Structure 1
Amino acid sequence: MRALYERLHGPSADYGQNLTRDGLRDLLLPVLQEARQIWSQQEDFAVAGVAEDDFIPDGTDYQQSTNALLRTLLRDGWLETFGDRAGLVSAYRFTRAGKLFAEAFWSLERRVSRTRQRNVRSCRNALNAALDNVDAYDLIDAYEYAEKVISDLSEGVDYFQELVRRLMLEASQTPWDGFLEFLDRFEKEFKKQLTADSIERHRHTIRDIIARLHSLEAEKAEALELQLNDIARWAVQERQGPSTLDWVLDRIEEMVEAACTTKHPQLIKAMSVYMQRAASLSGAAQDGLLARLGAAIAPAEIRLLDPAAFKLRSASQRRKALTVTAQPKVTREARLAAAMYRAEADAFALSNDDIVRRLRAELRLRERPIRLSTLPVATTTDVLNNMQVVEAVRSARDPRLTVQKLPGKLWNEFYAGDDYLIEMKHDPE
């Protein structure tokens, strides 16, 4: 369990690669070999009536032993399989219960104190403190915070996958209790993970602080190195390379990057899958809610920007922008030009409420539906009014006002487009 937890969630975990069957065999093989050596040196198993064969089958074929152990872990609920879409193979991970027990075994063996704060802001603040105070304890705190960020994101993914399983099992009825539990947990936990504690928000700051710690003065770097070697002997044993400081900083950066590029997207995707499954369930209350949402978004329109309006700046322009350090002085001509630009923009801006008000008056006067092509175009205001009237009617959310697209086209000396029929229904007396 400790070896599995170390590979899946420990400090040296490779979050970019899922644990496949071959990788699991390679992980379990040395564990089995070590176990057989221990059992061969101890006679307590025979005295207590417990045989080695109860754990590992007869024979010296470690490959068969590994397969038997793998089947046992799956059968007893320690591990579960899932589809690795990248490699198109089956991968392995802890079940929720298996992860909780394995973490306890791993923590007891490692004997490292744990901090209670579990967010990325704490990691950033601890790194800042390590930089300002040149204190290895702050650096160890940052390391543990980064571990907990990964652990919490993984726990969130497992939580939503469990909710999806419950939805599939209870497909005949809406599990509102589970949904209300999700809303409560979202408000207390996931909302912070996606906003104030978002790994995307603090990623670049953490990366910058780590780079500054890597480039510390020789005297400060040596002091941190000595402190780390004294208080974090586990890091000395696990490190790769001559410097514990560099190894700890690299691992923090790797965990933050893994959380940002792998675990955080997985959490969002798992949450999205759960919401889609929950939304697919039927119910009178849900139908009413969707009907109200539909009425609210019905007036919305989608307008696409012209791709030709977007142009990439040249390399010289980007370099020039980066070298500008002095604040530009706003001249009188620049202020005048800005005022003229705002005045010109306001001159062609019409209020939808004013347009609807004038349209209602026109409909009452005519007492019949109006075709858009019959509205006057004598002035600039008339033309702008006609070009905006369909949008104004749809945004008014007035059930008495309706607009219907006609098969014919509108042509005049100013513009061309679709023709519409606008009608105002009278309230029954």
Structure 2
Amino acid sequence: MSIQAFFDAERTRFFRPLNSSRRELVAAGLRTLYERLHGPSADYSHNLNRDELKDLLMPVVQAHQGRFEAADQNDELGGDETDDPNQLTSLLIRVLVGDGWLEQYPDRQGLVTAFRFTRPGKLFAEAFWSLYRPSRSRQRNMRGCRNALDAALSERGDAHDLVDAYEYAEKVIEDLTEGIDDLQERVRQLMVEATIHTQWDSFVEFLERFQRDYSKQLTVDSSTLNRNAIKQKLEQLRTELGSVKHRRLEADLHEIASWAVKEHTGASVLDWLLGRIEEIVDAAHQSKQPGFIRAMENYVKRVAGLVQQSMMLRTGQSRHSFLDAIQRVSMLDTEKQDALLERIGDSIASVEVRLLDPLSFKLRTAVQRRKAATTSVPPRPTREARLAAALKKAEEQAFSVPNEALTQKIRSDLRLFNHPVRLSGLPLATARDVLSVMQTVEAVRNTRARDLRATKLPGAVENEYYSGADYEIDFKKTP
């Protein structure tokens, strides 16, 4: 198997411009070019020729004209001729073309040479552009997953709806991960600068984004609110699909989702896809969303701490003259410091010093110390308390039926009778039997083996204990 090399041909030195002394200029130029060529306001009806390219990059070059970063060695962008913005712009274009970021092609309509991104240049430039682009996503991916599963359950539902649901579920994790990374980066930046004055704009931006995106993500679009509905629809797709539609969805998935055919485990791609959606939604609910909330709480706590510290310092400076004196001393040279300190010393020489009255300090008596020490020892429970706890535990476990025991009993009945089992046909001799029948459908749907299916029947179960829908339970048919 041949391995295609990335750093080959014109991409031999692809990342060299980003390691030069003008790397901030290169990154800003790539963002500007991507905005012009592929951004929301891109003009696709008109190609970019050399003059327009220079006019586009000239303001960027002028803004970064005097900014240099340390480089390991001399590079093209750090030479003496780069003092002229016009020459630096031409040099930047030549470097981006030579190192594989841009490419030239003939514009047959204008009869000129036009410029565009190479495919890898476009992908990496999009990353620089996305980092500084305000988020415009409504982050409705959790509701999008639920709606796509609804569409798959409808009469006209097809395999495309299932693939859409899977992609929406993946984007839920991406949204939460992006939010966690953004908040952690804000915390790192906050701790580096450690002042609220330079971070206030960032906090205001966070509040705006919270109102626009995060508030919806934690309420109507939260995994907690939509998780049960999604799991219910997944179970309906597992148990209520007819054999004809099941085979059609399976065949369509083999055609339109080749990646799922390669990655799936088990006999059915459909069952694997539904299981992956459920795992992703569970992961978003159990780990990603709590982590997102913790990151948000940590950031708000750090900002609140800095605000409180800033307010205390400001209040102290207005109330205590010695803080003002310390600040003034720190801003003077040695001679002026000595003169200022002498004047301060003369002014406070007549200060009256008062000490606390020793009678205000009272030692604890031996009885008080002994009482404080004994209260930390946990009391031993009495025999009556232990008996009451044992009875309460026995009452709670008296009617607790494990799901695994129920599924094992259903499997043995199916193998014994060699035909499906109905809820209405199960025995109701004891209270435990009644609870088992009421819990059977839930146990079948949550079994780890995934080898049973519960199909809802048109009729209902009516007896002296409860009334509800009737179900038929059987082994899943392997395709």
Fold match by TM threshold 0.5: no
Give 1 or 2 for the bigger CA radius of gyration.
Answer: 2
TM-score normalised per structure 1: 0.43
TM-score in terms of structure 2 length? 0.39
Which structure is richer in relative contact order (CA contacts within 8 A, separation 6 or more)? 1
